[in-house]
Amino acid sequence: MARVLAIANQKGGVGKTTTSVNLAASLAAMKQRLLLVDLDPQGNATMGSGVDKHSVERSIYDVLVHRAPVNLITRRVPEGGYDVLPANDDLTAAEVELIGVEQRERRLNTALREVSSVYDYILIDCPPSLNMLTLNGLVAADGVLIAMQCEYFALEGLSALVNTIQRVAESVNPLLRIEGILRTLYDPRNSLTNQVSNQLHEHFGEAVYRTVIPRNVRLAEAPSHGLPVMYYDRHSRGSRAYMALAGEVIRREEKRRAAAAGTVVKE
C-alpha cells in the first residue's frame, strides 16, 4: 500500500507546492511509483507539473463531489515520470457542495484507497488554509510533511497546525502523525534562520529533516516552464536539495517498515 503524505501549512508562500512538485519528481526519479494530488483550487501543483489546469475536463472536484474514480482523472506528467490528480477553479465549489454530505471529510481517503496498491507514495498538496479540503487531506494521510520558513511568525503557525493534526488524529484519523518538518527558503547567513532552526530541533528532534531547501532562483523559475526543477536545471542547488530530501524520505520509510517488522536498518 502507498505511503500517503499530506504536505501542509496554513501559511502561504512557504514553498509547500514547490516541495510537492519537486519531491514528487525526485521520488519518481528514484524509481518510486508516485501520485501527486493537487488539493488546492489555485492548481499550482498541476501547472507546475506541466499539466494545463484550464484544459482538464475533469479534476479532483469530480472525485470529491461526484465520486469519480481516481484512475480515470489522473494525468501522466510529461516530464516528471509521475501521475497527477489535477485541480482547477472548480474545486472552490467543492466545500459548498459537500455541506450536509455524510462522511464528507473522508471523501478523498475513500477515493485514494482504490488506487493505493498502484503507487509507492501519494503526495497531497494541501491548500494554505485549514478548511474542509485540508481536512480531507489530513484524514487521507498517514503522515504530514510540514514545509516552513525559519522565521518568527512561522513558529506560531506551526503551533496551530500541530494542534490541528492532533485533533484530527484524536477524532478522525488515529494513524496520523507528523512525518517531518522541512525547512524551506533556507538562508544560513540569517541569524534568525539559525535561531528558529535550533528551536525546531529542540522541540521536534528527529522529526526535522536533515535536508534544507535553499533559496534558489532556479526553483522559482521552474514552475513558469511547467517543469520540476530537476528537469529545468538538474545541477542547481534546488534540484540537488530535493533529490537529497527524496532519499531521506525513502530511508525514513524503510526504517519505519523495518521497525514494524522487528528488524534493523543501517543508516
Give the tens place of pLDDT for each residue, 123-145: 999 998 888 999 999 999 999 99
- Residues contacting 255, CB < 8 A, separation 6+: 265
- Confidence label for 10 from pLDDT (cuts 50, 70 and 90): confident
Q: Residues 171-214: pLDDT tens digits?
A: 999 999 999 999 999 988 888 888 989 999 999 999 999 999 99
Residue 102 burial (10 A CB sphere; 0-12, 13-18, 19+): exposed
64-114 per-position pLDDT tens digit: 999 999 999 999 997 789 999 999 999 999 988 998 899 999 999 999 999
What burial class does residue 66 get, using C-beta atoms within 10 Å of its C-beta: 0-12 exposed, 13-18 middle, 19+ buried? exposed
Q: Are 94 and 111 in contact (CB under 8 A)?
A: no
* Torsion angles phi and psi, residue 3, rounded to 5: -85, 120
User: Is residue 154 within 8 Å of residue 14, measured between CB atoms?
Assistant: yes
6-10, 119-123, 137-141: the lowest-pLDDT one: 6-10
This prediction's pTM:
0.95
Distance CA 210, CA 3 (A): 20
